[in-house]
Amino acid sequence: MKQPALFPSAFLLFSFACWGAPRTIAIDTARTGTPISPYIYGQFIEHLGRGVYGGLWAEMLEDRKFFFIIRDRYAPWGTTSDPNWGSGSYDYLQGSPWKVIGPPNTVSMDTDNPFTGIHSPVEHLPKNGASVGISQEGLALVQGRAYTGRVVLASDPGVSVVVRMVGDSAEAAPLTEVRPDRQYKTFSFQFVSPSTSDNARIEIVGTGAGSFEIGALSLMPADALNGWRRDVVALLKELDSPIYRWPGGNFVSGYNWRDGIGGRDTRPPRQNPAWRGVESNDVGIHEFMDLMSMIGAEPYVSLNTGLGTVQDAAGEVEYCVGPTITPMGKLRADNGHPDPFPVHWWAVGNEMYGQWQLGNMPLDQYVRKHNSVVDAIRRIDPTAHVVAVGAVGPWDEGILAGSADHMDLISEHIYRKEQLDVDAHSRQLADDIERIARTHRNYRTTIPALAGRNLRIAMDEWNYWYGRYIYGELGVQYHLKDALGIARGLHAFFRNSDLYFMANYAQTVNVIGAIKTSRTDATFDTTGLVLSLYRNRFGSIPVLVSGTAGKLDISAALTEDGKALTVAVVNPQPLPDDISLDVRTAALSGQGTRWILTGPDPMSDNQPGKPPTVTITESALSIVPSLQVPAYSVTLFRFELK
């Protein structure tokens, strides 16, 4: 029988130490809580660093549409650091990655009739018949792997252009040789790499009289899935997140969604409005929706309520879900997708309370803008679900008082840094999740606008954020102790399942990501591993757990069909521990399965291209008087019920 009064206090665990005999943990399967929303396992993708480009997206070339001016002096990379959240330096693209082939002053930038953006490179051929062009180095190739590409060219009559790949042996392999004309045309090429290289380069060179212009280039592995990296997509399917928030984050407050539609090669490259680097706009609405379809997840689209207007937001919503009789619905159909996209969730802005946010404004002004955007959304789609920007404290109090009838969920964000003590480090996220839950329970009694409303929370950014940026901007490495903390955070969501409807781990790839990639490999980081474990193995109907847990963090849930009991135990201690289960109002069948996530020490990590040091082992289990949980581990048990 469901007893809502149990939440939240009855599901909290005692937290004082107890050593010696196995601890007896009572689990009452008849005393259940609100079902755990599958959206608790949501993810978040933002356009920054190597999250999309250099991570999810398969494009191998930097600045393929020439945002930067190509100069004779080759200096593409800058180095910087983040003194607030990360440590150490990281490289970022600050100039053109294209190197001039030929004498100085043979490359200029056409600003009068560029192929896309504000300029396109023009190669001026010398009268002595020498070849000139541009090249990009630092490409990673794998022996025997197939690659495909294209180049967009225009030229004076009689010019011949060759695209070639140069490997470590410095032997050029021509990929295509063409004779363009004055109108831009696209030429495709493909090849199988004869060797493995970490520093191959692509060259585009021309000969003849006059000049030729390069509009865009592209190079991808041939097995890319509609532009997405096949190895990363496989991990996304294993992660099985039901919903993805996109495209930001701080990025969205300066993002024009129209830049990301239409022909991919003609979409203009832009400076990332919130972070370092260039936004190529290769990934826009259509590509994101395609990825969601491939992995079976729902899109959760963030709208620009920073620098964007109400009309901009309404246009994006109509573009996604409007019928083809509407102007934006027709434009979507013209761009290849007559059917509306299955978007039901909209984030109305991002962190608009922060001075770091583009378009930041006072609370009373933003309440009016939020309400106007939601009114516009609901005129287009009355069934839409909207999530308001939240932050506990005065901001929440104001937006809940002024906009409670203009939201379906309210968002919160939490990030925590490193603590040296493993128990203290792993407890941080759970403590914040509990604190925010307590605050919102209080709001329900103190804010009149919430009377009679069951307004729940979307924790649509939550994670650890600290350490060196190994995987580009915000690309920190996670460790076993972070996986313990993510597990404890999930337990806090479960204990407050009546209040938390959605959570979006921030972020998915490289950028404080659950998945880490190199140019040729991908792997689950420790935090992705634990998210996958719970998503695929833990139950969905939380049940009452009581007893003396000591430093163990224990959560239990029935499977949706009620045929099995799952019990998850986080041990943040340097020694193994024992528990004895007292399962009430249900009988165990006597057999079970155990999954153990652990590694050699709390700082163990997983890196792409190397054997993982943090792993999950699965084994059959017989019911015994006590169950051991290893040091520094997450152990998940599944017991079939009679």
- Domains in the chain: ranges and CATH: 4-34+543-641 (2.60.40.1180), 38-58+225-537 (3.20.20.80), 77-221 (2.60.120.260)
pLDDT at position 251 over 80: yes
Assign 14 a pLDDT band (cuts: 50, 70, 90).
very low
pLDDT, position 171: 66
DSSP 452: T
* Tens-digit pLDDT profile for residues 262-296: 999 999 999 999 999 999 999 999 999 999 999 99
pLDDT, position 182: 93
Of the two residues 642 and 399, the one the predictor is more confident about is 399
Give residues with Cβ within 8 angstroms of 195, minimum separation 6.
Answer: 141, 143, 167, 168, 169
pLDDT, position 81: 80
DSSP 266: G
* Tens-digit pLDDT profile for residues 410-442: 999 999 999 999 999 999 999 999 999 999 999
Give the bridge partners for 108, in sequence order.
Answer: 122
Is-contact 430 477, C-beta < 8 A? no
| CA 376 – CA 361 distance, rounded (Å) | 20
Q: What is the mean pLDDT of residues 207-214?
A: 96
pLDDT, position 169: 67
Assign 375 a pLDDT band (cuts: 50, 70, 90).
very high
| CA 502 – CA 488 distance, rounded (Å) | 16
pLDDT at position 12 over 50: no
User: Phi-psi category of 562—alpha, beta or left, where left has phi over 0 and alpha has psi -120 to 50?
Assistant: left
* Tens-digit pLDDT profile for residues 466-521: 999 999 999 999 999 999 999 999 999 999 999 999 999 999 999 999 999 999 99
pLDDT, position 6: 41
DSSP E strand stretches across 102-195? 107-110, 120-124, 132-141, 146-155, 160-166, 172-178, 185-192
| CA 316 – CA 380 distance, rounded (Å) | 11
Q: Which two tokens stand for residue 151?
A: 């180049």
User: In percent, how much of the chain has pLDDT > 70?
Assistant: 96
Residues 71, 281, 177, 168: is their CA dihedral positive or negative?
Answer: positive
pLDDT, position 23: 84
Q: Terminus-to-terminus CA distance in the chain, angstroms? A: 18
Assign 85 a pLDDT band (cuts: 50, 70, 90).
confident
* Tens-digit pLDDT profile for residues 618-629: 999 987 778 999
Assign 4 a pLDDT band (cuts: 50, 70, 90).
very low
pLDDT, position 15: 32
Q: What is the mean pLDDT of residues 203-221?
A: 97
pLDDT at position 373 over 80: yes
**Between the CA of residue 176 and those of 109, 123, 187, 205, 574, what are the distances in Å?**
24, 18, 8, 11, 60
b or e along 35-52 (b: 16 or more beta carbons within 10 Å of the residue's beta carbon)?
A: bbbbbbbbbbbbbbbbbb
Q: What is the mean pLDDT of residues 390-403?
A: 98
| CA 349 – CA 306 distance, rounded (Å) | 7
pLDDT at position 17 over 80: no
pLDDT, position 20: 52
pLDDT, position 128: 87
Is-contact 110 120, C-beta < 8 A? yes
pLDDT, position 427: 98
Q: What is the mean pLDDT of residues 159-173?
A: 85
Tell me the average pLDDT of the chain: 94
| CA 265 – CA 114 distance, rounded (Å) | 12
